[in-house]
Amino acid sequence: MSDIMEIDNDGIEQVSLKVYAEKAYLDYSMYVILDRALPHVGDGLKPVQRRIIYAMSELGLKATAKFKKSARTVGDVIGKFHPHGDSAAYEAMVLMAQDFSYRYPLVDGQGNWGSPDDPKSFAAMRYTESRLTAYADVLLAELGQGTVDWAPNFDGTLDEPRVLPAQVPNVLLNGTTGIAVGMATDVPPHNLREVVSAAIRLLEAPRSTVADLCEHVIAPDFPTEAEIITPREDIVTMYETGRGGLRMRAVWEREGGDVVVCALPYQVSGSRVLEQIAQQMQAKKLPMVADLRDESDHENPTRLVIVPRSNRIDVEALMSHLFASTDLERSYRVNLNMIGIDGRPGVKSLDRILREWLSFRTDTVRRRLEFRLERVLKRLHILEGYLIAFLNIDEVIHIIRTEDKPKPALMQRFGITDIQAEAVLELKLRNLAKLEEISIRGEQDELAEERDQLQKILGSAARLKTLIKNELLAVAKKFGDERRSPLVEREEAKAFSELEMVSADPVTVVMSEKGWIRAAKGHEIDPASLSYKSGDGFKIAVQGRSNQPVVILDSTGRAYTVASHNLPSARGQGEPVTGRINPPSGATFEGMMMGAPTQLYLLASDAGYGFVAKLGDMQTKNRAGKAALSLPKGARVLQPSAIAEVEGAFVAAVSNEGRLLVFPLADLPQLVRGKGNKIIGIPPARVQSRDEFVVAVQVITEKESLLVYAGKRHIRLKFSELEHYRGERGRRGNKLPRGFQKVDAIRIEG
């Protein structure tokens, strides 16, 4: 602070608010980054986690120890090492104890430590007990072997380790999340064997690229059997940049007709998933699901049963919808941000993480070996003193008994060092008398052998690498396990559209003369008998299914698409169709069509022109519709005729003058839009003057009959009787019998 202070004329220390605030903010930011939020590449722990693990080791809570009340443990942590409250420390401890949160838990707990369904449902710390797991040894085993830099704790009364001497790259193994000032960390968990294998690869081939290392580290490995569905290339890119994302998908199987979800993505709650599905069912947006059950127990931690409404339901499509609309599929952010061995935070690629960790590990192992070598040399030095004392035992005892200051006397008489003399004097006389040459020389030989071995390793980089490699393999053998999260490439999940949710019930869509539209359930309805507004009446009706849209044809030849499932009921008088579409001013509605997108229709104008069109080609999302049928001058649109089969079908066209022409349907082209080809020959001038025009066009097969209506009379013509009217497309046709020449309508009967 002194560097930003100024002293005024009165000798008062002053600091500008701007400078003070800026420094305070920066100091706080660095404190959060370095001492709270980010893990260290060395041991993969945040400060609070490190303090908990170290405090528990100091309390003797090893994997073999008895469990101890968590409140006592947390109390010890915050009393000695951690400057924050007990709830924050306990929460950090809980996370390390949850086998569904940590891939390799560091704390072994008794009592309620939360459940996969609700990780925050853990009991208060006075009700739980804890100790360290066996895996925690990889962080603590080398603690007292000169491998650690010590720093004063928050109040300066004790020393705490800056970084624990981890034997494996723990930063990748358990993963971690944290939010610091202006940065975040999201490191996913990994498989121990894979990470160790990659570390060894980098140790043996220092120039290995991320792609090389990804041969070993296939992908993150979460503590769940759910599938990682992110493409392999994206995962490699994520490891190269240190940033990216992952997607996980639940695993399901068929049991009878039911769908059983047996593995959920990382940190996804089963009850939350069921709630999401139930909400869709209540909103009637999931009609294909009949029931939901949670059959999870101790044997099956995850078992969610989804019961389809019938065995005709496409289960694959249903699950694809649920993956897209619920937490059965989830994405995870990856941000490999951590404090490096230089003490600076940064986002690191996979190779850089492993390089830094190997550098840290090499330094740790070297320090451990040097510490041990120092101890061995010191002991050898003392043993030399013991041997001299043993060989001159009587004289040594005499000097100790008679001399006031025996140490200098021993040093002078036998030429031993201060340390050796001190060691001899520390032995009690009776122990000094019990010294044996064999045991001394035996220990000397053992230590000399160990000294030579240590010096060999320390003097050779290759031997040091081999030692690190063997230690990594030993840890992998002891704590390694098979991958839990399989890497499976899947197609992108797609949610159902609103239309796909609709059940396929039979409906009859009715249009009135004034353009009011409604839908009646079933196909048995008589549209003409429905009630209509005063001055209005029945015009056209079409039959189909509720999941099929209605295509309406107006008097200008434009086609409009209207959803049928949300049309008003036929119990009422419907609603103006102009509320759903925007036709040109003065246009009336002349035709309606329903069916599958592949359904064929015969479109025709009363000028005697027409073509075959596919229903899907006429559908549009545009409220203004799309051009379908082009009309010659003075011509009007006819109600389209459905086509079941093109082969063996014939077109029957009849004019107002009673001329009937029958010809093969195959003679007409299939178009997307246009005027079409000539069906029956009518002079254009007579069409314009409305003297002659086509009354109706129908598609007929050889098994059907043609009913011709003229006033109150009708005539039935079997297909064999139509031979007289058969001709080439575009001819005038032959006249119907007398009395039936003023045709009102024609109908097909099977």
**Per-residue pLDDT, 601:** 93
pLDDT digit string, tens, across residues 245-302: 999 999 999 998 899 999 999 999 999 999 999 999 898 888 889 999 999 888 888 9
Alpha-helical (H) ranges within 392-506 are: 393-402, 406-414, 418-426, 429-433, 437-459, 461-479
Q: Provide the pLDDT confidence category of residue 715 given band limits of 50, 70 and 90.
A: confident
Tell me how far the alpha carbon of residue 386 is from its chain's centroid: 68
Q: Provide the pLDDT confidence category of residue 389 given band limits of 50, 70 and 90.
A: confident
Which tokens is 733 given?
Answer: 């046709």
Residue type, 180: A
Q: Burial code of 233-258, b = ≥16 C-beta within 10 A, e = fewer?
A: eebbebbbebebebbbbbbbeeeeee
Task: Please enumerate in sequence order all residues whose Cβ is within 8 A of that of 576, keeping only pairs 6 or more positions apart, or say none.
Answer: 514, 515, 516, 517
- Of the listed ranges 15-19, 262-266, 481-485, the one predicted with least confidence: 15-19
More confident residue, 170 or 297: 170
Chain mean pLDDT for the chain: 91
| DSSP structure string for 617-647 | HH--S-TT-EE-B---TT--BPPPEEES-ST
On the question of pLDDT at 2 being above 60, the answer is no
Give bridge partners of residue 157 from the DSSP assignment: none
**Per-residue pLDDT, 9:** 64
pLDDT digit string, tens, across residues 628-657: 999 998 899 999 999 988 888 999 999 988
Q: Provide the pLDDT confidence category of residue 138 given band limits of 50, 70 and 90.
A: very high
**Per-residue pLDDT, 455:** 94
Is 601 one of the catalytic residues? no
* DSSP structural state of residue 379: H
Q: What is the mean pLDDT of residues 351-365?
A: 96
CB 485 within 8 Å of CB 224:
yes
Q: Which of 104, 127, 386, 709 is catalytic?
A: 127
Q: Provide the pLDDT confidence category of residue 8 given band limits of 50, 70 and 90.
A: low
- Tell me the C-alpha distance between 20 and 13, whole Å: 13
Q: What is the mean pLDDT of residues 9-23?
A: 82
Q: What is the mean pLDDT of residues 324-336?
A: 94
Alpha-helical (H) ranges within 174-261 are: 192-204, 210-213, 232-241
Percent of the chain residues topping a pLDDT of 90:
65
User: What's the full length of the chain, in residues?
Assistant: 750
Tell me how far the alpha carbon of residue 253 is from its chain's centroid: 19
**Per-residue pLDDT, 429:** 67
pLDDT digit string, tens, across residues 41-95: 999 999 999 999 999 999 999 999 999 999 999 999 999 999 989 999 999 999 9
Q: What is the number of alpha carbons within 13 Å of residue 707 lying toward its C-beta?
A: 10
What is each CA distance from 304 to 259, 294, 488, 536, in whole angstroms? Answer: 8, 5, 21, 55
Q: Under DSSP, is residue 701 helix (H, G, I), strand (E, B) or coil? A: strand
Interhelix angle 350-391/192-204, nearest 10 degrees? 80
**Per-residue pLDDT, 287:** 84
**Per-residue pLDDT, 208:** 93
| DSSP structure string for 296-330 | --SS-S--EEEEESSTTS-HHHHHHHHHHHSTTEE
Q: Burial code of 28-39, b = ≥16 C-beta within 10 A, e = fewer?
A: eeeebbbebbbb
pLDDT digit string, tens, across residues 724-741: 888 999 888 888 888 888
Torsion of CA 408, 414, 420, 421, to 10 degrees: -30
- Tell me the C-alpha distance between 79 and 155, whole Å: 10
- Tell me the C-alpha distance between 298 and 301, whole Å: 6
Percent of the chain residues topping a pLDDT of 70:
97
- Tell me the C-alpha distance between 50 and 619, whole Å: 65
Which tokens is 189 given?
Answer: 């968990």
**Per-residue pLDDT, 501:** 63
- Tell me the C-alpha distance between 485 and 224, whole Å: 6
Q: Provide the pLDDT confidence category of residue 498 given band limits of 50, 70 and 90.
A: low
Cβ atoms within 10 Å, residue 610: 29
More confident residue, 297 or 455: 455
Task: Please enumerate in sequence order all residues whose Cβ is within 8 A of that of 497, keeping only pairs 6 or more positions apart, or say none.
Answer: none
Rg of the chain over all Cα atoms, to the nearest angstrom:
44
- Tell me the C-alpha distance between 262 and 303, whole Å: 5
